[in-house]
Structure 1
Amino acid sequence: MSGLFITFEGGDGSGKSTQSRLLADWLAQSREVVFTREPGGTELGAEIRSLLLHTGGHITDRAEALLYAADRSHHIATVVRPALERGAVVLQDRYFDSSVAYQGEGRELEPNDIRDLSLWGTEGLIPDVTVLIDLPPAVGRERLAARDETPDRLEAAGDDFHERVRRAYLRLAEAEPDRFLVLDGTEPIDSLQQRIRDRVSAVLEQA
């Protein structure tokens, strides 16, 4: 039985964590499921996550991109590839598309450089399915505010930044329609989950 690599992408507050956990519960009835995230899916990654999202000091844009790439390379080598090799379904909250959108477009670096760096670091690992939950940044901001939590560095980056991120995600999905499943994040949770399960079921049948 071959493994399956499914990633979840979207702006802050889009609901991707909720949808990925619901899918994990459903798949776990019949498959081994590894649920992980970037950054922070390993012990090293947890330290990098703290630096990236919660440090009080300034991080330059290129240093930020490199830290994400370092976390990703280690995470794929030590968690994701071993799981896929033993036939597990890996559900991952964010992958290199996040870096292309956030560091490439959001920070206004060169998106292709960011993608190439990630592919080099992960030895070219591409997800089988990428679920993109699209949501207007204003709606995402309202959802985050309702949590009454202190926003991290990226959540607090501003409206222009998050608009660039959203446009970048949609361009990525348009360029790779066979990999991406684009969903409207304002739709009901159950409706979104059913569409995700339908897509994943179809991919599993072909595996």
Structure 2
Amino acid sequence: MTTTRGVETDGFLRAPFAWYGLDEAFTGPRRLMRVGTAADGSVRHGSLGHGDEPSIKSDAGTAEKERFTVVVTVAAHPVGGSGDGTGFLDATTVSSAAWLAGSGLLAHTWPAQLDHTLRDNWLDQQTETAFELADDLDGPAWTTLSLPVDGVPVPFHYRETEFGWVLAGAGPDVHIGAYGRGMSAYGLAFSQVKDLGPYS
């Protein structure tokens, strides 16, 4: 979904759920990234960026210097789906957040040995793998760690990849996912965003 900054901000403001980001202990730059909508235009999920702006890097040495965490908030819906082909699960669950976080990390990943013509095939294969992993949160690819959400310890599913890390857990009335590079997931804490001003 490509939108102007104004429309993007409007999408975040229209969401019928609370957004989550890193808590006040994080003092670096913050930014709005994108929202995902259902076929009827309702906002279903979105991402808030923290730290460096993630970019697709073919130079592995440069990519390793990026330090960012992206927090994905997914509206909790026990039934129904987007119907718009975005690929996340019909009934939103923690797996939905894991899938969106995993595919988000892949969108900012480009193995140095691949050229432009091969990246699409690589991305398709890796995205399918990310979906399968998200659907098996109790499988061997995931470990668990406890991170604060609004000051309350919450269990998260966590996995590391050669491109970064992905985690997902349940927040109050939402599901929270995150992905990043260069910042340790173990020191993160999440909180409800009361004011989008620092992100816009």
The normalised TM-score by structure 1 is: 0.24
Of Structure 1 and Structure 2, the greater helix share is in 1
Tell me: higher relative CO, structure 1 or 2? Use CA pairs within 8 A at least 6 residues apart: 1
